[in-house]
Amino acid sequence: MGYRKSKMKDFSDLNDFSSFEKYMLCKYLIGLIDILEINRYEFNMYYEKLIYVLNLDIKTCPKNIQGYDFRDKKEQKFKNDFKNLLIKHINNFSVRKNIFIKKINLISNFYDLSDYEHEYFLYYVLREINPLIERLDHFYSCETKIFPIFGIKVLKLKNWETSQISKQLVAKGIFIKRGIYDEKVFLNSKTMQIMSDNKIKTNKQIKNILLGSNLKSDLKWNDFDYLKKERDISLNILTSAVNNKTKGINILLFGSVGTGKTQFSKLVANKAKIDIYSVSAEIMDKEATRTDRLNDLVSKQTILSKMDNSCILFDEAEDVMNRGFSEFGSASKAYLNTLIEETPVPIIWTTNNIYNVDPAFLRRMTYTIEFEKLSEDVRLNIWKRTLRKNKLKVDNKRLMQLNKNYEISPSLITNAVNTTKLINGSQDDFEMFVENLARVVTKKKNVKKKKEFEMKEYNDDLVNTDLDIKDLTSKIKSCGKLNFSLCLYGEPGTGKSLYARYLANELGLDVILKRASDLMSKYVGETEQNIAEAFAEAKSKKAMLIFDEADSFLQNRNNAVRNWEVSQVNEMLTWMESHEYPFVCTTNLLDTLDEASLRRFTFKIKFDFMTKQQVNNAFEHFFGIKNANVDIKGLTAGDFATVKKKADFLCVNELSELCKMLEDEVKIKKSKSLQNVIGF
């Protein structure tokens, strides 16, 4: 066989080798003598240095044996003598008392490994910690040829039997396996963490590393009264599954960030008096990979299957349950499905995005719960209790305003409280920390609530529509029904969004405004999720939902070229059919909207350019000029607002100059429209 360059230290440093490494060299040479007879160069490379380092007393040893034939009787005697001396020298080493071996024995006892499992585990650990063994893997096609070098008992087993032992160690969570059909195994990260930490000496310490702490919720049972039915069902499922030791129980909690999924999981387990342990998101101070997390799940399943009253939390499971999760092919998908179906203890899964979850995963769920954004009342109770628990005083008026302005999760509220206490801060400091955390989480520079809609911003005398919106507003108010939808279409600046806000104000409703930039995402499934969250938020707040630039995500499906272009329209249509509160879409491009979406709008209202009378009314409204008698085509209220701002800066109030500025606005719009037509 060809020689491969060794990864171990240079042989000039052999005097610095530890006894354990010298032991490994002796074992390696014995192996070369036994089964690598043809590779005399390899043997000779170690030979002379090792004799010197180990002080072996072989007076007749040749300086170079590369030219000798091992089948010769003289050389056969040398071979046997040298092998016996190596074995004798090995007996002087206390390798089985080595710190690594002690740790291996500790782990073996913890997992109750058989003798064969123990020896196989020993081999893999030795392979990880000693480069010599790693190098040996290059010379052999299977482990059973390497085991003799180290005196490992599985030498007596056939290859298929060692493969079976490997599978058993994977099932116990000691080894990592990438897929159900992948034969190659590795030591998992937590096993290596235990091996590398000399402070770990007891089963209890190993258990703490592998399981982590039993999780406790910061919330109260009545905090989830708005999910009373789902909460109680989850409790019953969890309690019955644990008491009856039922396999394959999986509960999925899904919804946007900050809705309390993790706290809910812990709270239900705490209520049932069941220990709950979380699959690690970090291992050895590094972010856990998908493989790390799945292996940690297997390890916890193995340990907890032997314990009473326990379950597992797999938080933020997007990396394993998404359609694209199978980074190693269908085998990996089958492996995960097996873990779910055969789990010996209940698993609670949480995810922020269900729209890209593999359907095969969903079919294996015992129960699912959707978490909508917390209502103001629920959040206010959490604010109050967290402040009271931490003895931090915030006056009620300020607290009410914070609760209204910042829709943050219970964990962020707790973080803000803890940071304020850390610096012995004031109420102003607390508010600053809340805003800071909210800004980071939402990734928005300004997360404060927008100013309230002012009636003076809207004047229906300046709006030109194909439907009498004064009459429509009056009838909607008197009807008392809120499950209506409006499609407001027309040129920019004609008052579509302002009218929607005005109508909400007349109905006494808050407004949730979402633009295309708020909803559209480059990640598959996230646009659908954002749409769903917007409707859910409007429902929880009993608010009017306005989608500006709706043509961005309601395009005709007949023109779609990608699957997600269809799925986001489908998501919108589904919500439009079931939404209980006012929903308004504004668009400048009615012709591009999906036909099915148009049929679902209760009213479709066109907003057009101002009439001559409305133009003259606008001069009086914006500039105080009566009887202007101006006839400029293509003007909107938005044009007047723009010119008004410009005129204030330039101190202009002459009719002729104002008309010139308005005409320029019309020219700009026409020029832009022409560019769009010819493809610029």
Residue 501, pLDDT score:
92
Q: If we measure between CA atoms, which residue out of 415, 410, 404, 411 comes closest to residue 448?
A: 404
The two tokens of residue 637 are: 């209220």
Q: Has residue 675 got a pLDDT over 60?
A: no
What values do phi and psi take at 513, rounded to 5?
-105, 125
Q: How far apart are CA 378 and CA 410, in angstroms?
A: 10
Q: Which residues pair with 175 in a beta bridge?
A: 187
Count the neighbouring beta carbons within 10 Å of the beta carbon of residue 551. 20
Q: Has residue 653 got a pLDDT over 60?
A: yes
Residue 311, pLDDT score:
97
Q: Which residues contact 159 (CB under 8 A, 6 or more apart)?
A: 142, 144
Residue 94, pLDDT score:
46
Residue 75 or residue 421, greater confidence:
421
627 in helix, strand or coil? coil
Q: Which residues pair with 310 in a beta bridge?
A: 275
Which amino acid would we find at residue 310? Answer: S
Q: How far apart are CA 629 and CA 612, in angstroms?
A: 8
Q: Determine the straight-line distance between the first and last CA of the chain, rounded to whole angstroms.
A: 67
Residue 569, pLDDT score:
78
Q: Has residue 366 got a pLDDT over 90?
A: yes
Count the neighbouring beta carbons within 10 Å of the beta carbon of residue 62. 14
Could you tell me if 278 and 315 are in contact, meaning their C-beta atoms sit under 8 angstroms apart? yes
Name residue, tokens 């329209």: 569
Q: What is the CATH number of domain 455-607?
A: 3.40.50.300
Residue 560, pLDDT score:
56
Domain ranges of the chain: 11-95, 98-210, 212-371, 376-442, 455-607, 612-678
Q: If we measure between CA atoms, which residue out of 491, 494, 589, 487 comes closest to residue 546?
A: 487
342 in helix, strand or coil? coil
Q: What are the tens digits of pLDDT across the range 265-321? A: 999 999 999 999 999 877 666 777 787 888 889 889 989 998 889 999 999 888 787
Could you tell me if 623 and 662 are in contact, meaning their C-beta atoms sit under 8 angstroms apart? no
Judge whether 212-371 and 455-607 match in fold: yes
* pLDDT, mean over the chain: 77
Residue 201 or residue 366, greater confidence:
366
The answer to which of 34-43, 450-459, 644-653 has the lowest mean pLDDT is 34-43
Residue 644 or residue 562, greater confidence:
644
Given pLDDT bands bounded at 50, 70 and 90, which one contains residue 447?
A: very low
The class of domain 212-371 in CATH terms is alpha beta
Q: Largest Cα–Cα distance of the chain, in whole Å?
A: 126
Q: Which residues contact 138 (CB under 8 A, 6 or more apart)?
A: 4
